[in-house]
Chains A and B, each alone.
Chain A
Amino acid sequence: MPTNYPKRPGIHWFNRWVGMLIGTLLISFMLADAVVAQALQTGLSQTGSLQTGSSQPAPGLACRDSLTGLIQGKDRKGSALATPLPGATIYLKETRQGAVTDVNGHFRLTGLCPGQYTAEYRFEGYETQVRQIQVSDSGLVGPVDTVITLITENITLQEVVVTEHRSEAQQLLQVESELSGQALAATRGQSLGESLKTITGLYSIQTGPSISKPVIHGLYSNRIITLNNGIRQEDQQWGSEHAPLIDPFIASRVTVIKGAASIRYGSDAIGGVILVEPKAMPTQPGVGGEVNLVGATNGRMGVGSAYLEGAFDKKLTGLSWRLQGTLKRSGYVRAPGYFLENTSYHENNFSGDIHYDYRRVGLEVYYSQFDTKIGLFTGAQVGSLADLYAALSRPEPLSQPGFSYTLDRPNQQVSHGLLKVRAYWRIPQGGTLTATFARQQNERREYDYVPFSGSLNPELYLKLVTHTGDLIWEHTAKPNPSNGVWSGSVGLNGITQGNVREFLFLIPNFRNYGLGGFAIQRYAIDRWTLEAGLRYDYRWLRAYFLDEPTNRIYTQTHSWGNVTGSLGASYQLRPDLTLTANLSTAWRAPNVADLYSNGLHQSAVAYEIGNPNLSPEQAYNGNLVLAYSGKRVTAELGVYHNQINNYIYLKPDSIPIIRQRGAFPAYSYTQVNARFRGVDASVTYKFTDQLSLTSKTSLLYAYDQTNHGYLVSIPPNRTDNSLRYEVASWGKLSRVYAQVSGLYVARQNRAPAVTERQENGQVIFTGDFAPPPAAYFLLGAEVGFSAALGRQPINVVLTGSNLANASYRDYLNRFRYFTNEPGRNLSVKLALPLKF
């Protein structure tokens, strides 16, 4: 509880003034966003138990008892109705064990031994309660299902600052995984797509070493929604070489929802949702920050990222700010034996965030800018089918220069700006209303070699401006007499986009509108949590074309509407064993690239042809997850089945397109019924408190039911196993760990057969241009620790990837026809928290 808050009766003039300003802003700008304004500490999972110390069980007795309960809050002088408190904590003094309440105010503490305990129930702004709890030898805990009612504290009543909200993903009963803390720190310096590969069921589709897009359960591009700080990222993501333009240093947590997750976030998310969430804004008055430095040997990459943040006290209580920036430079990446020419890249990013929270309302203004320039590997530049064939038959790229930071043409230069304004209001009668408005502007320039005309114009220029608006009401849980708890949310999402193109034609100018409304309700009772959601979406798309001979503009318009639903249930079989099942439907309207692409996509070595008659994709997704969390073993087994009717993908055509520069491999957007089935398994076994083994395996089987064959670009099966040794302290170092890991990626045998034949002097392919590459094994290692640098703490992570310097190619890399993957890479990551 903050102690610096002044005891002031009434409303301070500043608060009154800012409150009025918020109101005025809301009305005049009509801006805003959707957040759950529920207090929560960073990094705590839904009913995650917060193990702050280990209690030694009495010998011979199984410490398997659990304590469950509900923490609710009550206004001292206000309404009589108590409301559940999500994010409240329970803490056992004797064992130093703790837990945090979930969205419904429920908590579960497991692994209790018989005995007498003192429990403290806490929530900021409420008076702490202390109770004695008796756990009997018979294994029963009493009192079971305790309801603890906390009373608001008089002093802080007017000063409660709600600064953190529970992860949006964590409110859904869907399969999710997250990357935070040390796991996220170990990926610092990598792109978002690359860093997510550590999660089971996630892959990345790459274009050379520097462009990486996340793939969830075999699905990518427009089938995944990425939420950057709560805003749907819209950046021409239909292109497989258009990596998400998000600075991973913004995130303190990246959550992935695997499987159809359209209900809450809008249609399209047939494959899943990625939530990139920044650190909670500071609440303690003062200024702080962090500097992150990353250096890597391969590409001789250097990254510097820093943020500075602060909160005000006294007259400006509730006001907080953050400024953040990242600079990244990398030179030619090296595959074993040779450098990849022109694979340098630059990145310059910054963001700024201001929050103001006052009583029941709050306002947030956020701006971020992402600018990148990415060199395209020159060995993959082909001007014709003959060049492609010559490149395919070469074991190594033709041109193998020395190392350089030079970033020449061909390259991509992309910038993405995001402005977000969000306001919330916690309604006294229950629930939170949040409104969000965001504007994004994405500009993409793709440059080929300087042509013979000497023109320095880009080959492709696209500018996409997106406006999104959300209005969401999240109602707080209301316990009913049978002890069940209802919670849920209702909301509206709106989106409109305008796209402008110049130079070569690849996709047309367009305008689209989308409007969706949804409702999700959850009911939690006893060991059950049930969830049902319903959503309706409407999409409208108009593409603008120029008939060049007559210089007249004509349009083509499409519109679609659809209802989707989801149904989920979670059952706690035992305190340490939970079974969750989810059934959902999702749909995705064809996007403008699916429908109207028509042109040479130089960086992808493809002539892409759309199909204006495509119908929307319809997915039926089912998954089942069994999660076990014991003393020695933590395991999760998930199976999924995703039936996608009218699945749209770029199919390699047999007939090449002939242009002045020769024949080009052509791809056209094709629609089939497809089935994606898979297993994600992860298990951690603790040999001792220090030594543990983690095994993560992802299996995926995709099938084209229409043609009774396989689909292209489906991730192969893989298993990643690591052995980790960690100690709390070692000499002057703390939180020390060392880890070795081995990643095995199988050959993708379920790929279309590759055939080639000569026809009228023309080489004709079917299936693909080369068979899938062989299986590979990569050795990795990681060492991390915290140390004190003078009075400053410093966190250090050293990582090594592909330590054996193996030569391999990855099936999901579009440049696998031309070059091996990068070789050995050693990197050092430093994080220096700053306190002023």
Chain B
Amino acid sequence: MNNSFKPSWLLLVPLTLWLSSCNKEEQSVAPTIDNESLTTATLQLTNKANSADVVTATVDNLDKSADFSKATLNLKANTTYSGVILLSDKSQTPATDVTAEIKDRQNIHLFVYTPSPTSLLTVTITDKDTNPSPGPYPIGLTYDVKTTTAGTGSLNVVLRHQPNSKNGTATPGSSDLDTTFPVVIK
């Protein structure tokens, strides 16, 4: 039986393996899917004294290099606005409404609005989640903005993701969104 073993036969082993093992699976590339993609953030502020006076500011292309060309918030001095934030993911077809998804998971999310300088305007969150005591805690999908004197600055918007740890402060968790809108108050 030993005579049937020729070393030269065995030389074919790795070669044959190769030929038989090639699988072209890697040649069809799957598209990139971000489970948490968010491309567009819009602030929509309505003058409380005049519901026809609506100001919007939008940051686009958030998942890549953000487009700030329509992002400036042009507000009036000494005015109170009621605001909403609208988030969407246009990388998918059809575009998804992320705001609705945040609303669904309100108990683990918190929006944090930080004006710079802090004297520029005041943001007060007006909605609450359904966390049990010591909750409920604010969410931040709706809020009031109050301006005083004219000036320029910015408004930073952060969406905090706080699974099992939401406590009404910004500290726990990680950021799902972190962007800044330029603000001009006249």
Contacts and interface: CB of A to CB of B under 8 A. Distances in A.
Contact of B36 (A387, A453, A467, A498): A453
Interface stretch (B22-30, B44-52, B117-125, B131-139): B22-30
Interface residues of A, number: 73
Interface in A339-382: 359-361, 381-382
B139 to A, nearest CB: 12
B161 A32 contact: no
Contacts of B26: 498-500, 509-511, 544
B16 A30 contact: yes
Interface stretch (A61-69, A469-477, A557-565): A469-477
Residue with the highest number of chain A CB atoms closer than 10 Å, among B22, B36, B165: B36
Contact of A449 (B13, B16, B33, B163): B163
Contacts of B69: none
Given A457-B33, A465-B23, A452 B174 contact: no
Interface string A429-461: 000010101010000000011111111010100
Contact of A387 (B35, B63, B175): B175
Interface in B142-186: 158, 160-161, 163-165, 171-179
Interface string B1-34: 1101101011111111110111101111111111
Nearest to B64: A659
Nearest to A544: B29
A551 B93 CA distance: 14
Given A398-B172, A449-B161, A553-B28, A31 B17 contact: yes
Contacts of B29: 508-509, 544-546, 553
A176 interface: no
Interface string A16-53: 10011001001100111000000000000000000000
B102 interface: yes
Contacts of B30: 500-503, 546
A265 to B, nearest CB: 16
B54 interface: no
Given A383-B173, A553-B27, A660 B62 contact: yes
B67 interface: no
Given A359-B2, A659-B62, A660-B177, A448 B36 contact: yes
Contacts of B2: 359-361, 425, 428
B35 A459 contact: yes
B164 to A, nearest CB: 8
B27 A509 contact: yes
A427 interface: yes
A32 B1 contact: no
Contacts of B165: 398-399
Contacts of A361: 2, 5
A492 B14 contact: yes
Contacts of B161: 383, 449, 451-452
B11 A471 contact: yes
Contacts of B177: 660-662
A453 B96 contact: yes
A774 B58 CA distance: 47
A27 B9 contact: yes
A544 B27 CA distance: 6
B178 A663 contact: yes
A387 B165 CA distance: 15
B42 interface: no
A390 interface: yes
A431 to B, nearest CB: 10
14 contacts: A381-B174, A386-B178, A433-B10, A449-B163, A452-B161, A459-B35, A467-B21, A508-B29, A509-B29, A510-B26, A546-B29, A546-B31, A551-B31, A660-B37
Interface of A: 11, 16, 19-20, 23, 26-27, 30-32, 359-361, 381-384, 386-387, 390, 398-399, 425, 427-428, 433, 435, 437, 439, 448-455, 457, 459, 465, 467, 469-471, 473, 492, 494, 496, 498-505, 508-511, 513, 544-546, 548, 551, 553, 658-663
Given A433-B10, A546-B31, 13 more contacts: A383-B178, A398-B172, A437-B17, A448-B35, A448-B36, A452-B98, A465-B25, A498-B25, A500-B25, A502-B33, A508-B29, A511-B27, A661-B178
